[in-house]
């Protein structure tokens, strides 16, 4: 169930209001359709890996992270600046609802705003951490919502292309690895 108090807390993050809506094919002024002035999307997989490489070279770039007995591991590679990430138990994520990205990123990076946030105590263990370039999350088995937010887009007047979510079921010994570029973080966050 979503509470109006939670919506009011999110308004603190978005104090200046929402930007005017643009169509999906309308780039920012001064940008081309690819989203950057040069036409290449920084942080995309080719940029992240530095161009075409052999499978042996790619394997050497992987983080050597193994799950300890009774835990699962999620490795997030954020190929863009100001990326913050967390894994929130699915039952709590469902309860928080539409403002989950703002909540966990605020808890991790906007302490002054998060001080009066509803559900702060329950969400505090899941405060987002910097995922640029890499973040390793170790957790017990269970159902989780993986949350990635672009901190630089959470504050008004932005909110477009600011988040990414994925629901996962993790068992002991699981190891998941995600490579996210700026083009993957496409969730528009609610402003009101």
Per-residue pLDDT at 189: 79
Domain ranges of the chain: 1-15+68-192
CATH number of 1-15+68-192: 2.60.40.1120
The predicted-structure confidence for 73-84, as pLDDT tens digits, reads as follows 999 999 988 899
pTM summary value: 0.66
The predicted-structure confidence for 102-149, as pLDDT tens digits, reads as follows 888 888 887 777 777 777 788 889 999 999 889 999 999 999 999 998
Report the side by side order of strands in the sheet with 129-130: 129-130, 83-89, 142-150, 163-170
Per-residue pLDDT at 154: 74
Tell me which of 10 and 76 has the higher pLDDT. 76
Residue among 4, 2, 8, 9 at smallest CA distance from 113? 9
- Distant-in-sequence, close-in-space partners of 28: CB < 8 Å, separation ≥ 6: 22, 35
As given in the structure block, the two tokens for residue 163 are: 């988040």
Beta-bridge partner residues of 78: 180
């Amino acid at each position: 169930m979503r509470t109006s108090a939670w919506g009011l807390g999110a308004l603190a993050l978005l104090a200046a209001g929402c930007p005017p809506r643009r169509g999906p094919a309308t780039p920012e002024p001064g940008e081309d359709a690819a989203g950057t002035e040069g036409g290449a999307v920084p942080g995309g997989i080719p940029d992240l890996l530095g161009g075409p490489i052999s499978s042996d070279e790619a394997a050497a770039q992987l983080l050597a992270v193994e799950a300890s007995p009774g835990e699962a591991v999620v490795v997030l590679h954020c190929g863009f600046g100001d990326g913050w990430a967390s894994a929130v138990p699915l039952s709590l994520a469902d309860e928080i609802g539409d403002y989950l990205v703002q909540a966990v990123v605020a808890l991790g990076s906007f302490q002054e705003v998060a001080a009066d946030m509803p559900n702060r105590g329950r969400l505090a263990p899941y405060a987002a951490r910097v995922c640029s370039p890499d973040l390793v999350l170790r957790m017990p088995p269970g159902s989780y919502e993986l949350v990635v937010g672009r901190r630089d887009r959470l504050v008004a007047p932005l909110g477009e292309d600011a988040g990414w979510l994925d629901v996962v079921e993790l068992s002991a010994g699981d190891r998941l690895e995600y490579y996210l570029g700026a083009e993957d973080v496409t969730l528009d966050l609610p402003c009101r």
